[in-house]
Amino acid sequence: MNRLRALIAEDEPILAFTLQQTLQRLWPEMQVCGVVDNGVSAVQETLAQRPDVLFLDIKMPGKTGIEAAQELAEDWPEQSPFPLVVFVTAYDEYALQAFEQAAADYVLKPVSDARLGKTIERLRARLRQHAERDAALERIVGQLRTLVPAQSQPGERLSIIRAAVGNQIRLIPVAEVHYFEATDKYVNVVTGDGESLIRTSLKELLPQLDGSQFWQVHRGTVVNVQCIQAAVRDESGKLSLRLRGRDAMLPVSRVYAHLFRQM
């Protein structure tokens, strides 16, 4: 039988070392296959290593633990079992209610033997049950549906977008936008008559959009609901959107697929 493997993503070296030592002491049959200190590396190493368990610090440079979990849920290969995810957090009791309601596994900083021991008991039980292991991806997707929206606070709604087109600034009514697409450092604003760039992140833009009109369907895509013609599922079960008047299909991630269930 292959040895169980865990990956730790924690940006505070002392806490990462403590978690690793405590985990190895309380769960000696679990091998720590890697320790990373940022969210980008957490995604890369998890996809490369395919661990059984993933410990994700909530606040990390590059990507938060929740953003890393979201990206992994979207990009995880269909044929591989998704790791059991444990969020590591310094949040207070009030903030932890979100994790409790989402039935997420978590350990609170500083990590104690008692709390980690309880988490290990639950993880051992789930790893023994193949059906539970197979359901790990659906479980984290369900958690993210609760946790991801909680990261954004509503702000003042945009009505006009000032976007760059060459050496010009174009004023675009928000209602005319078909979808927003995140690029490396910008957001691409796609309308019926072209594309423009705005110097902001999708994370900053989202709270300024009307959530009833613009739906996030992927970590890098927000679409105008009025422009959706159909949601199409391919032979592998992956969902894509066909927009009115456009040939290109927009992929829908697992985290947001529930938005298109039949009413």
Provide the CATH number for the domain around residue 171.
2.40.50.1020
Task: Assess whether 8 and 115 both reside in one domain.
Answer: yes
Phi, psi dihedrals of residue 82, rounded to the nearest 5°: -75, 140
The C-alpha atoms of residue 192 and residue 243 are separated, in whole angstroms, by 11
Q: Is the pLDDT confidence value at 14 over 70?
A: yes
Q: Is the pLDDT confidence value at 94 over 60?
A: no
Task: Assess whether 146 and 180 both reside in one domain.
Answer: no
Give strand pairing partners of 173: 160
Of 120, 151, 182, the domain-final residue: 151
Q: How many domains does the chain have?
A: 2
The pLDDT of residue 31 is: 95
Task: Assess whether 189 and 129 both reside in one domain.
Answer: no
What share of the chain in percent tops pLDDT 70? Answer: 89
Lowest mean pLDDT among 2-6, 112-116, 164-168, 193-197: 164-168
Structure tokens at 170: 């174009």
Higher pLDDT, 126 or 223: 223
Per the structure, the complete domain to which residue 144 belongs is given by: 4-151
Of 123, 151, 179, the domain-final residue: 151
Three-state secondary structure along 223-245?
EEHHHEEEEEECCCCCEEEEECC
Task: Assess whether 81 and 185 both reside in one domain.
Answer: no
The pLDDT of residue 100 is: 62
Indicate yes or no: pTM above 0.85: no
